């Protein structure tokens, strides 16, 4: 059925999604592992050679996912945990990925999820503070612009907040930008990487096409169109799924890609740089103390927050629109915990 080359490819422990340069391995926990994102994310993490132990937690369904994913022939051990086993699930975890919470339905904004997801994320963060206070926490649950400040404030309340270890996962915006730019330039997505800054919803998503050699060739109507598509790409998926949720498969891919970057940084690999939403000084003077920009990852999590670089006139305008909305989203998250 498969050619020799295909068999070699299928058997290879890593793929373009993952790179590993070091042997040190780590326990990773997924909170919300039974969900639309959690299941494929768990599968992809099972295939990451930097993960030794995978801890899958959900209020429902995680033991089944663990039994299933646990049969994949890679080195890591997999364990599933039910609703009353959150502390056990977190024990010893170095990286905790959180896709727990409800997704959007057609017509909803990410902010419409706040009421449900804010308390889910706060309660999970409180458990992290208690059991795994030095872990890196990777927040996928929306609205990311508010859930990341909620996690930070909850850890802060418990006296264990380290700004180097709390990340909002904005990788899907970066993945979409590369894919959409490849689509209109006929280049490979490997060559159309775009830095996306700001936050993770609508107008707060600011793609810096002018900093990409392919991106800066896109002008006029095509530019307006691609910016809009990067900002509102999630809506395409929500609409096409017609009530059955939002992006899960591409999000799982993006989440696994970002988790691999964090793991490589923790393992001491140099030069691992990717946009992520973190506690940031870049726009703190404007009251925006969480912001996504290129971040170098390292043994302690955030190693260095890069400046945003030179922007085009259009990008300056996008940033102007981003800041006040992001500020509101961040304040809403903080107020929830206060």
Residues at the site binding ligand NAI, with contacts judged by CB under 6 A: 31-32, 34-38, 58-61, 99-104, 113, 117, 120, 124, 140-142, 144, 169, 172, 200, 245-248, 251
Q: Helix, strand, or coil here: 307?
A: coil
CA distances from 148 to 125, 219, 331, 337 (A): 10, 34, 11, 11
Q: What is the rounded CA–CA span in Å between residue 115 and residue 221? A: 37
| Nearest residue (CB) to ligand NAI, 241 versus 334 | 241
| Nearest residue (CB) to ligand NAI, 38 versus 149 | 38
CA distances from 45 to 48, 138, 207, 258, 268 (A): 5, 13, 27, 11, 19
| H runs (alpha helix) in 214-312 | 220-241, 249-266
21: phi then psi, degrees, rounded to nearest 5: -120, 0
Is 108 flagged in the annotation as binding? no
| Nearest residue (CB) to ligand NAI, 165 versus 269 | 165
Told to judge if 200 belongs to the known catalytic residues of this protein, a careful annotator would answer yes
**Position with the least CB separation from ligand NAI:** 35
| Nearest residue (CB) to ligand NAI, 117 versus 204 | 117
| Rounded to 5°, angle at Cα 300 from 170 and 89 | 75
In the complex, the smallest distance separating the C-beta of residue 219 from ligand NAI, rounded to whole angstroms, is 28
Is 60 flagged in the annotation as binding? no
Q: Which of 46, 193, 200, 229 is catalytic?
A: 200
Is 37 flagged in the annotation as binding? yes
Is 36 flagged in the annotation as binding? yes
| Nearest residue (CB) to ligand NAI, 169 versus 196 | 169
In the complex, the smallest distance separating the C-beta of residue 4 from ligand NAI, rounded to whole angstroms, is 37
Of 151, 101, 145, the C-alpha closest to 128 is 151
User: CB within 8 A of 100, min separation 6: which ones?
Assistant: 31, 32, 35, 38, 58, 120, 121, 124, 141
Q: What is the rounded CA–CA span in Å between residue 267 and residue 216? A: 35
Is 4 flagged in the annotation as binding? no
| Tokens coding 18 | 């993952």
DSSP per-residue letters across 141-159: SS-HHHHHHHHHHHHHHTT
In the complex, the smallest distance separating the C-beta of residue 94 from ligand NAI, rounded to whole angstroms, is 19
How far out from the chain centre does Cα 242 lie?
A: 24
Is 264 flagged in the annotation as binding? no
| Tokens coding 6 | 């295909």
In the complex, the smallest distance separating the C-beta of residue 38 from ligand NAI, rounded to whole angstroms, is 6
In the complex, the smallest distance separating the C-beta of residue 3 from ligand NAI, rounded to whole angstroms, is 35
Is 115 flagged in the annotation as binding? no
Q: What is the rounded CA–CA span in Å between residue 290 and residue 48? A: 29
| Nearest residue (CB) to ligand NAI, 63 versus 101 | 101
Is 220 flagged in the annotation as binding? no
In the complex, the smallest distance separating the C-beta of residue 285 from ligand NAI, rounded to whole angstroms, is 27
- Contact 30/55 with Cβ under 8 angstroms? yes
Which residues define the annotated binding site? 32-38, 58, 104, 110, 117, 140-142, 176, 251
Which residues define the annotated binding site for NAD(+)? 32-38, 58, 117, 140-142, 251
Active site residues: 200
Which residues define the annotated binding site for substrate? 104, 110, 142, 176
């Amino acid at each position: 059925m498969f050619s020799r080359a295909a068999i070699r490819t299928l058997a290879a422990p890593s793929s373009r999604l993952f790179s590993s340069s070091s042997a040190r391995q780590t326990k990773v926990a997924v909170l919300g592992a039974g969900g639309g994102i959690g299941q494929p994310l768990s599968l992809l993490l099972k295939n990451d050679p930097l993960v030794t132990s995978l801890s899958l937690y959900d209020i429902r369904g995680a033991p089944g996912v663990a039994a299933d994913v646990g049969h994949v022939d890679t080195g890591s051990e997999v364990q599933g945990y039910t609703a009353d086993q959150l502390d056990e699930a977190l024990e010893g975890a170095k990286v905790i990925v959180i896709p727990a919470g409800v997704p959007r339905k057609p017509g909803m904004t990410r902010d419409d999820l706040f009421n449900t997801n804010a308390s889910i994320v706060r309660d999970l963060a409180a458990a992290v503070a208690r059991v795994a206070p030095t872990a890196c926490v990777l927040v996928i649950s929306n609205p990311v612009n508010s859930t990341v400040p909620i996690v930070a404030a909850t850890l802060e309340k418990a006296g264990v907040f380290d700004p180097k270890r709390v990340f909002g996962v904005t990788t899907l915006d970066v993945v979409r930008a590369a894919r959409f730019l490849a689509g209109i330039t006929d280049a490979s997505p490997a060559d159309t990487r775009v830095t996306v800054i700001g936050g993770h919803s609508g107008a707060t998503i600011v793609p810096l096409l002018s900093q990409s050699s392919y991106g800066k060739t896109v002008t006029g109507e095509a530019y307006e169109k691609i910016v809009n598509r990067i900002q509102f790409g999630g809506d395409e998926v929500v609409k096409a799924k017609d009530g059955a949720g939002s992006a899960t498969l591409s999000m799982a891919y993006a989440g696994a890609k970002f988790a691999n970057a964090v793991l490589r940084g923790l393992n001491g690999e140099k030069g691992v740089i990717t946009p992520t939403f973190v506690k940031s000084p870049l726009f703190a003077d404007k009251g925006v103390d969480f912001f996504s920009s290129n971040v170098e990852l390292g043994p302690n999590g955030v190693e260095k927050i890069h400046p945003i670089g030179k922007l085009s006139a259009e990008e300056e305008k996008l940033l102007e629109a981003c800041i006040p909305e992001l500020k509101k989203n961040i304040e809403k998250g903080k107020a929830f915990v206060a």
